[in-house]
Amino acid sequence: MSDLSINFAGIKAPNPFWLASAPPTNSGYQIMKAFDQGWGGAVWKTLGVPVINVSSRYGGLDYRGTRMMGFNNIELITDRPLKDNLKEIEEVKKHFPDHAVIASLMVETREEWHQIVRDVENAGADGLELNFGCPHGMCERGMGSAVGQEPEVIKMIVGWVKEVAKTPVIVKLTPNITDITVAGLASVQGGGDAISLINTIQSIIGVDIDNFVSYPNVGGESTNGGYCGPAVKPIALNMLKNCAQHPYINLPISGIGGIENWKDAVEYILLGAGSVQVCTAVMHYGFGIIREMIAGLEQYMDQKGFKTIDDMVGKALPKIKTWENLNLNHKVVAEINNSKCIECQLCYTACEDGAHQAIGINKEETRVPYIIEENCVGCNLCSLVCPVEGCITMKRKDNGKEVITWKEKTMAGDVPTTFDDERAGGAGHHVPKPADALKK
Ligand SMILES: Cc1cc2nc3c(=O)[nH]c(=O)nc-3n(C[C@H](O)[C@H](O)[C@H](O)COP(=O)(O)O)c2cc1C
Ligand code: SF4
Ligand code: SF4
């Protein structure tokens, strides 16, 4: 049986599923309820000098029937007095000594950092997370992402915290930066024990086209917010990969962004996360989603023969290379399973207008399209648009033995070097004549 327990940078938890610092971790009541249902850890809603929030704070992006595929907020850090939060941290730790309670922090001066670190540690926090990521409101005041975008300031503040911290320090990074590894490296240089990513992405979720106000509407006006939820997962995964593969960022990473089920969590772990954090999915579906997450992860680990989470961390990283090291001889073409086809012809339209005119239709006999194999470049588009699972599959055509990469070809002097070079990948490939467009 797999063991889900983790030791993340010295912070122990019964499983890698933590609540991210956000409304679900606003109070001891919520965190106790979550732990009771199975969550392994919680990062407390960011503590600091309490704020005053605006009312009307969230915006959702629905996509074709799916509610909140993306989520946007303009909420700030905690609006509750510190003493109330400290009392509740103490109480939660008393009831759940083996669960991870991490205090997210955001203050300004060195003295304030020292004071709040001592306060939360005295209350029993198992670790600290420095919020260098909030991309709205707090950054206007020189905190949050304003810190996370300045490597020197990251280094300085992590250093301040490490002067007094007795528990592990996680630096939470902002995605609102050109290269997140620069911030990751600054966290290492400041003496951080771990990093977490991502915080929200600065965003405008939409505009009310009748009233000319973007969302969320605060008395007829608005401001930019922070984007999260399933829509941000691909961006977060790439940033995770960049940090996990970086030769000098050898810190444990807590993965955050769009995680809503066990499979999302596994993807994060395989790309290098030692724990995962969840916000939007809990705001959408409640704490109960943890049951499926734990059961699914256990089953996956058993199937794959992973005994511990550490066995899985980063397993997919060696297979992510730079583009120049991919095999140019790898060749796939689309294949349609006629018996599954529902004759919608979406694949035909996609390939005809958006790809390489490699799908034909026989107007007289049947509506099932056919692949023109010599025109197919193996881009996958038709298989992605086809609404029937397994109806279009990509079949391998090369023998898998001859590998040649762009890097090798460059070194051998065998790549296009002039605009009209006949070694171009598409030279001689079928392209209809422009005038043929008007005949159909
Ligand atoms: C309403 C809301 C409030 C948030 N507040 C905080 C916060 O106080 N501190 C923090 O570090 N992150 C905060 N976040 C960011 C989340 O912790 C998390 O990094 C982000 O939402 C991405 O995860 P998700 O896609 O699972 O939501 C907040 C997010 C939301 C939606
Ligand atoms: S998209 Fe799929 S189901 Fe539709 S015509 Fe093409 S192969 Fe058939
Ligand atoms: S894989 Fe691309 S090029 Fe080939 S048939 Fe499908 S859409 Fe056309």
Q: Residue 116: which domain range?
A: 6-318
Other CB atoms within a 10 A radius of the CB of residue 403 amount to 13
**pTM as predicted:** 0.96
Asked if the structure places residue 260 within a domain, the reply is: yes
Q: Residue 213: beta bridge partners?
A: 208
Other CB atoms within a 10 A radius of the CB of residue 361 amount to 16
313 and 328 part of one domain = no
Nearest atom of ligand 1 to the alpha carbon of 198: 19
> For ligand 1, is residue 104 a contact (CB within 6 Å)?
yes
User: Contact at 8 Å (CB) between 293 and 262?
Assistant: yes
Domain count, the chain: 2
66 and 48 part of one domain = yes
Digitized pLDDT (tens) for each residue of the chain, 440 residues in all = 899 999 999 999 999 999 999 999 999 999 999 999 999 999 999 999 888 889 999 999 999 999 999 999 999 988 999 999 999 999 999 999 999 999 999 999 999 999 999 999 999 999 999 998 878 887 877 778 887 888 999 999 999 999 999 999 999 999 999 999 999 999 999 999 999 999 999 999 999 999 999 999 999 999 999 999 999 999 999 999 999 999 999 999 999 999 999 999 999 999 999 999 999 999 999 999 999 999 999 999 999 999 999 999 999 999 999 999 999 999 999 999 999 999 999 999 999 999 999 999 987 888 999 999 999 999 999 999 999 999 999 999 998 889 999 999 999 999 999 999 999 999 989 999 999 999 86
**pLDDT for res 145:** 83
User: Contact at 8 Å (CB) between 113 and 105?
Assistant: yes
349 and 229 part of one domain = no
132 and 150 part of one domain = yes
Give the domain-ending residue among 289, 318, 347. Answer: 318
CA distance 155 to 159: 6
Structure tokens at 422: 């006949």
Give the domain-ending residue among 298, 318, 338. Answer: 318
Residue recorded with tokens 């938890």: 13
Asked if the structure places residue 51 within a domain, the reply is: yes
Which of 32, 37, 34, 39 shows the shortest CA–CA distance to 15? Answer: 39
129 and 152 part of one domain = yes
CA distance 35 to 363: 61
341 and 304 part of one domain = no
**pLDDT for res 162:** 98
Structure tokens at 306: 């992973």
Residue recorded with tokens 């309820």: 33
309 and 330 part of one domain = no
393 and 257 part of one domain = no
Considering only the C-alpha atoms of the chain, give the largest distance between any 2 of them, rounded to a whole number of Å: 80
201 and 295 part of one domain = yes
Give the domain-ending residue among 295, 318, 341. Answer: 318
Torsions phi, psi for 344 (to 5 deg): -80, -20
Asked if the structure places residue 266 within a domain, the reply is: yes
- Say how many Å lie between the CA of residue 260 and the centre of ligand 1: 14
Ligand 1, pocket-test mutation among 17, 19, 21, 176, most atoms within 8 A of CB: 21
The CATH number assigned to the domain holding 366 equals 3.30.70.20
172 and 307 part of one domain = yes
Residue 134 designated active-site: yes
172 and 305 part of one domain = yes
- Say how many Å lie between the CA of residue 45 and the centre of ligand 3: 47
User: Where in 35-118 does DSSP place strands (E)?
Assistant: 41-47, 58-63, 66-73, 100-105
CA distance 140 to 84: 26
What letter would DSSP give residue 212? T
The CATH number assigned to the domain holding 78 equals 3.20.20.70
Asked if the structure places residue 417 within a domain, the reply is: yes
